[in-house]
Amino acid sequence: MATGRSGGRVRLQDVATLAGVSMKTVSNVVHDYEHVSERMRERVQAAIDELGYRPNLTARRLATGRTGMLALAIPEMDQPYFAEIARCVGEEAGRRGYRIIVEQTLNDVEAERAVIRDREEGLVDGVIFHPARIDTLEIARLRPDTPLVLLGEAARPLTTDHVMIDNVRAAREATELLLATGRRRIAFLASVRTEIAESTHLRLLGYQEAMVGADIPLDPTLVIESEGFGIDDGVRALTAALDRGLAPEAVLCRDDLFGLAAMRALSSAGLRVPEDVSVLGWDDTSLARYATPALSSVSPDKRAIATSALDLLEDRMNGYDGIGRHLLAPYTIADRGTVARLVR
Amino acid sequence: MATGRSGGRVRLQDVATLAGVSMKTVSNVVHDYEHVSERMRERVQAAIDELGYRPNLTARRLATGRTGMLALAIPEMDQPYFAEIARCVGEEAGRRGYRIIVEQTLNDVEAERAVIRDREEGLVDGVIFHPARIDTLEIARLRPDTPLVLLGEAARPLTTDHVMIDNVRAAREATELLLATGRRRIAFLASVRTEIAESTHLRLLGYQEAMVGADIPLDPTLVIESEGFGIDDGVRALTAALDRGLAPEAVLCRDDLFGLAAMRALSSAGLRVPEDVSVLGWDDTSLARYATPALSSVSPDKRAIATSALDLLEDRMNGYDGIGRHLLAPYTIADRGTVARLVR
DNA sequence: CTGAAAGCGCTAACAA
DNA sequence: TTGTTAGCGCTTTCAG
């Protein structure tokens, strides 16, 4: 049983002394170094067990210069999309021998600046960062000196590695899917008035491309405007549009939350989903999977995003110092219960 | 190779040299030590700025023995309840000057053991741990030497600090709320066949207390059994019960996911929520808030849980070494759209 | 008020 | 195969 000096921690030297060997030898068995005689190994291991020795990771870090930790900076951990990304990054990082520090920027510009400026100094080997407020220019200017990979649509400086999905193309395909089910009056929920980010813009673009491609004249009233990002904002926006006489056959939503908002507004208006109106969400979060009916949703491959980001990051950590690589992660359209062929 | 310093190659000594002072003086300035002459401070600061010096946190740690980091170990980051807890803990920890490492145990026993055994050795100042698989006995046996606070119902050894809500009482009150709306045939969704954890048990107990307290004989067919924790398991279980002729007037659910399952099963069966059947979830996660109708749910005060856990932990980190304190965090019952008075 | 030097615990050359 | 020792970058007595 471990009867270590309760209070003071057991050090490598203590083990060495007890085993009657040098620190190097102890270190060798701790690291499973091959060339250690069986007898030696046993003796040292016995001392380790007896003292209950655990290497001090901070000291190891100082000595090696590697921390074995990565930072993942996201706006909010409890937003389903980010929570799911965090899980994937965490799992994949663990597989590669890293641990992650999750940093919430809470949509604060200063917090975001801090992420790439100095928050992680000497603490982590690399940073995966999904910005929400900071833009391309500023990131390029801040030039972080810790390896960095960006996620999402908000910022993509040429100098920095970056992973996202092709939002325009995904939106186009999503719209085409809706068109293929015989729906022509497709609304977009929503263009957010206060939006700084880029994602809605790209998705709207793809939507418009598809409409134009199908020879459907763009009808600006179909692009609904919302006051904010909350579910209530979405419900209000769509309800108002419905009241105004908008009669969409489908609604393409900028995210799953607006997908739920659409379902709520439509059902209040006495419209059935998907019989009367199809609804398509975006991000394929738990929100979509657990809705009733389950919400069809554009589904970025979160595992692939995590893997790609980590690949790029490890590259940088291994010394790659070239121009930024920009990867497009795959996506699918998860077809669940809210998209159906229009029957009259 | 170039794995050396992943950040500030500028060291304290470099600043000292440039400013023509000793390391101690630079350190004093960095730490805003009071007794430094204004002239000195300016001179040093200029050097710091010129070189872009950032202290190496790992080195600081080794020297001080404090890491300024806390570990939060939870089963899965993307389960809404845990994601929300993580957010609260993260925010509150940040307020107190700590950063957190989020550790996913992914419901793996070994991973859970590692958490309290050695995963965090010398890495963090304390650990907040929500176990799922490990039990009271084992934690007591493992005796971690890093300050530890436990969350949840799975394990509560007398030796260790612990925060949870009073599940029995909350379940009793939840059931009483349902009873107060005129519902007498109240089902419980669900007792999970493979369950190891304790929470369902406690909630079921509170439910039974309330029923008995209202002089309603316990009907075992009202306690539905599910094969697993997934939404489909819940839907199947309730659907089967409904098919069997069970006609509940309300369903108390072990968590929000089963709340959604109930809503799904009931609506498939042509029953209206809450007119025909009331549904009450548990955890008050985004799942509940974003459902349509929004799911009423037992709502643990997650912010209070985070605050209490951090209080206890800081106590320990400051040397408190007494017996385990066991705190009950407050909760409310968030009354949304799925509980209503029964009208016939 | 400032400087010199001894660690913090571990790693990794270099020796033996 | 094992031992010696010089750092890693910062903090912190203890002098000056």
CB burial of residue A290 (10 Å; 0-12, 13-18, 19+): buried
| Distance between CA atoms of residues A192 and A199, nearest Å | 11
CATH number at residue A25: 1.10.260.40
Does residue B225 sit in the same domain as residue B307? no
Return the bridge partners of A73, or none: A103, A129
Task: Please name which of B66, B73, B126 lies closest in space to residue B314, comparing C-alpha atoms.
Answer: B126
- Residue A59 CA to nucleotide C16 C1', Å? 27
Is B189 part of any domain?
Answer: yes
B220-235 per-position pLDDT tens digit:
999 999 999 999 999 9
| Number of other residues whose CB lies within 10 A of the CB of residue A6 | 7
Q: Which of residues 64-83 of A touch strand C (CB under 7 A)?
A: 64
CA of B115 to C1' of D6 (A): 34
Q: Which residue is nearest to nucleotide D9 (CA to C1')?
A: B59
Strand duo B278-282 + B223-226: pairing: unpaired
Phi and psi (nearest 5°) for A74? Answer: -135, 160
Domain assignment present for B62:
no
Cβ-Cβ contacts under 8 Å, A54 against chain B: 118, 121-122
A146-189 tens-digit pLDDT = 899 999 998 888 999 999 999 999 999 999 999 999 999 999 99
Contact in structure between A189 and A260 (CB atoms under 8 Å):
no
Confidence (pLDDT) at A65? 83
Same structural domain for residues A188 and A261? Answer: yes
Give the residue nearest to nucleotide C9 (CA to C1').
A59
C-beta atoms of B59 and A122 within 8 A: yes
Classify B293 in phi/psi space as left (phi over 0), alpha (psi -120 to 50) or beta: beta
Do B201 and B267 share a domain, yes or no?
Answer: yes
Q: Per CA to C1' distance, which residue is closest to D10?
A: B60
Would you say residue A216 lies in a domain? Answer: yes
CA–CA gap between residue B198 and residue A146 (Å, rounded): 44
Q: Are residues A326 and A315 in the same domain?
A: yes
- Cα–Cα dist A44/A53, whole Å: 11
Strand D at less than 7 A from CB of A217: no
Tokens of A211: 């409409």
A and B: number of Cβ contacts within 8 A: 153
Q: What is the pLDDT of residues B14-73, one digit of tens each?
A: 888 888 888 889 988 988 887 888 888 888 989 888 888 888 888 988 888 888 889 999
Is the domain of A124 the same as that of A241? no
CA distance A275 to chain B (A): 16
Task: Provide the domain count of chain A.
Answer: 3
Instruction: Tell me if B296 sits within 8 A of B339, measured CB to CB.
Output: yes
Strand order across the beta sheet in which A223-226 lies:
A223-226, A186-192, A250-253, A278-282, A296-300, A331-334
* Contact (CB, 8 A) for A203 and A153: no
Q: Are residues A93 and A171 in the same domain?
A: no
Q: Is the CB of A58 under 7 A from strand D?
A: no
Cβ–Cβ gap B104/A91 under 8 Å: yes
B249 and B315 part of one domain: no
Does B286 sit within 8 Å of A55, measured CB to CB? no
Side chain identity, residue A87: R
By C-alpha distance, the chain A residue nearest B76 is: A87
Among B54, B100, B106, select the one facing A118 at the smallest CB separation: B54
Hey, which bits of A135-277 come out as E strands?
Answer: 148-151, 161-165, 186-192, 223-226, 250-253
Residue A60 belongs to some domain of the structure: no
What's the maximum distance between 2 C-alpha atoms anywhere in chain B?
Answer: 88
Residue B66 approaches strand D within 7 Å at CB = no
B187's enclosing H/E stretch is strand B186-192
B211/chain A closest Cα distance in angstroms? 30
Please answer yes or no on whether A58 and B122 come within 8 Å at the CB atom.
yes
Non-local (6+) Cβ contacts of B140 within 8 A are B157, B158, B159, B160
Full-model pTM: 0.92
What's the CA angle centered on B109, arms B105 and B110, to 5 degrees? Answer: 85
CATH number for the domain that contains residue B97:
3.40.50.2300
Distance in Å from the first CA to the final CA of chain A: 77
Report the residue from B1, B84, B263 with minimal CB separation from A78: B84
Q: How many helices (H) and strands (E) does chain B have?
A: 13, 12
Residue nearest C11, CA–C1′ metric = A63
CA distance A300 to A174: 12
B131/B73 Cα distance (integer angstroms) = 8
Q: What is the pLDDT of residue A300?
A: 98
Residues of B whose CB is below 8 A from A78? 80, 83-84, 86-87, 286
Q: β-strands A331-334, A296-300: how paired?
A: antiparallel
Backbone angles phi, psi at A327, to 5 degrees: -100, 140
How many other C-beta atoms can be found within 10 angstroms of the C-beta atom of residue A323? 9
* Tokens (6 digits) for B151: 């969350």
pLDDT at B119: 64
* Rg, Å, chain B Cα set: 26
Asked if A153 and A174 sit in the same domain, the reply is no
Count of residues making up chain A: 344
Which residues in B lie closer than 8 A to residue A286 (C-beta atoms)? Answer: 78, 80, 287
For strand C, is any atom closer than 7 Å to the CB of B212?
A: no
Minimal Cα distance from A294: which residue of B? B264
Distance in angstroms, CA of B68 to C1' of C8?
16
Q: Which residue is closest to A122 within chain B, CA to CA?
A: B56
In which region does residue A99 sit, left (phi positive, over 0), alpha (psi from -120 to 50) or beta (all else)?
beta
Q: Collapsing DSSP states into helix, strand and coil, what is residue B254?
A: coil
On whether both B201 and B229 belong to a single domain, the answer is: yes
Order the strands of the B278-282 sheet from edge to edge.
B223-226, B186-192, B250-253, B278-282, B296-300, B331-334
Residue A256: closest C-alpha in chain B: B290
The answer to whether residue B210 is domain-embedded is yes
Nucleotide nearest to A15 (CA to C1'): C9
What's the start-to-end Cα distance of chain B, in Å? 78
Strand D contact at CB of residue B8, distance < 7 A: yes
What tokens does B10 get? 């500028």
Q: Which residues of chain B have pLDDT under 70?
A: 1-8, 118-120, 196-197
Q: Pick the residue from chain B with its C-alpha nearest to A267.
A: B292
Residue B295's closest chain A neighbor by CA?
Answer: A291
* A215 & A225 share domain: yes
Whether residue B216 is found in the same domain as residue B173: yes
Is residue A175 one of the residues assigned to a domain? yes
CA nearest A74: which of A63, A65, A85? A85
Task: Out of A62, A146, A286, name the one closest to residue B80 (CB).
Answer: A286
Q: What does the pLDDT read at residue B196?
A: 65
Containing structural domain, residue B211: 167-299
Q: Per the CB < 8 Å rule, is A59 touching B62?
A: yes
Is residue B342 a part of any domain in this protein? no
Residue A5 CB lies within 7 Å of the nucleic strand C:
no
- Give yes or no: residues B171 and B159 share one domain: no
Cβ pair B339, B274 in contact under 8 A: yes
Please indicate whether, in this complex, the C-beta atoms of B78 and A76 are within 8 angstroms of each other: no
* Residue A157 resides in a domain: yes
Phi-psi region of A155 (alpha: psi -120 to 50; beta: other; left: phi over 0): beta
Listed as ranges, residues in chain A with pLDDT below 50 are: 1-7
CA–CA dist A200, B264 (Å, integer): 31
